[in-house]
Structure 1
Amino acid sequence: MKENNKNYYPVLEDVSDYAEMEKQCQTLAKKTVLWVLPWNAVSLNEADTYDEAYLAHVKTIFSIAEGYSLKILLTPELTLFSLPSWVMQELNRVKLNEESIRFECPYQSRNETDQACLFTFFLALFFLGNDLFPEIKHEGESIQDFLQEQCIFAMKHAARRLKKNTNIEGFYFSKMLSEEFIYSYIKDIHSIQLKNNERSEKLVISPELIKTKVDDFKLCFKNEIIKKHDHFVFKSDTN
């Protein structure tokens, strides 16, 4: 059982043994807890397909939690290891096919280089794609808009499937969706840039810029979710 360091929300850990889940819920009775919702747990091998078996499993867990008066905050997870396989395929497609992109990441090992570089590139496309790489498209749509829409749609689908679990309070944005975490990666974006990098040189990537981009995403996320769940609250590490 983990705790969130900032606001001290315990994390309800996913287990397949429902008897073990009963024990967790009994220990956490009457608390507000976080449920980590990895993007790749919801989204399958294509952008618009979802893992209904996983969501049914989560629904069962939340029903158990409801019996112990637990309130739940859904926590979207966007890490290298929680990206859907189709996102990884898209990143590799861009990496291989976009002649204007070069990858030069100075990390300790080749494996670390590949992984950290690819995740940095994902964050750059997700939050700054329209500014840094406007020429990169997915079927005519900007890559930033496409990735953000699909992430939000996946979380919206999860909320819809779990709507009968009345103990869901809303969403919680962890430090992995904070400007500090994202800036720690994107600040070195000069290592992943356009070969003709006039555009990226003109754009100063500052903590303030990242905060604006992250806040814009969170606002879009909230506005889309509350269309069907206007009672949801939205919390983060910063409040």
Structure 2
Amino acid sequence: MRALLLTAVAVAVALPVIPAQTWSTTACGPAAVSVGDYRQYEGTGSGTTPFSFTVTVTTAPGCTATGSVAYATEHISTGPADITATSGTLTWTDSTDAKLVVVGVVRDGTPEPEEAFSLRLHTPQNLVITRDRGRGQIIDDDLPPVETGLDGGKICWRYESSAVEVGVHTNTPARAPITVHYRTVHTGSNPPGYYPVKDGIITIPTGSTRGTATIRLKTEPNLPDEQFYVEIFSPSAGTLGLSRVPITVKSKR
């Protein structure tokens, strides 16, 4: 029986060339740009209330925006003296970030109906406008008058609490967020046994009448009794009622 000798022979096999994989992506055409609405109280007193309109761009997945759009205020039911005329140009360079346009609404103390104006987008460059007008709704805070005040003074025990919470209220539910600033006023000669507040902000949300001013206490047991004041100022709507109240802090000793 003759043995068969099997010899391994290396054979060069020509393999087909496979081209590099390519992925199909959506072409990045001009981004869409639009402006939103803004609703806020007019404000009472001197100066202006900022109305902040958000301008956004929308692109295809994986794309960014490069282009510009102009903007300008237009009157609907306002007069020239009611708002600060505003115009300009917003520019995006390889970005999708939203931008803000702030329009100043002139405050006054005259009861009047609600008013409105618009912020109009125009003259796009490499952008497509999908919403060209944002409505600025001005809520009157003089009819009925909006008043914001503190609830009253408080007495608290230092070792029972690490903070004092002082209530703030409005006389009518907020029709848009109402902000009011607050600060502490030190009256003693010793260093304060609390962390002073120079300019805190309280926000009363839409539909609510309540907010809270918070002051952190120092908790060292050897601190003496003390009294200080909490004061509110610069409300975004209406006027102030009770604007300053005493806070008495009792120590453990």
> 1 or 2, which has the higher strand percentage?
2
Higher Rg: 2
Question: When the two structures are superposed, what TM-score results if normalisation uses the length of structure 2?
Answer: 0.20
Q: What TM-score results when the alignment is normalised by the length of structure 1? A: 0.21
The structure with more helix, counted as a fraction of residues: 1
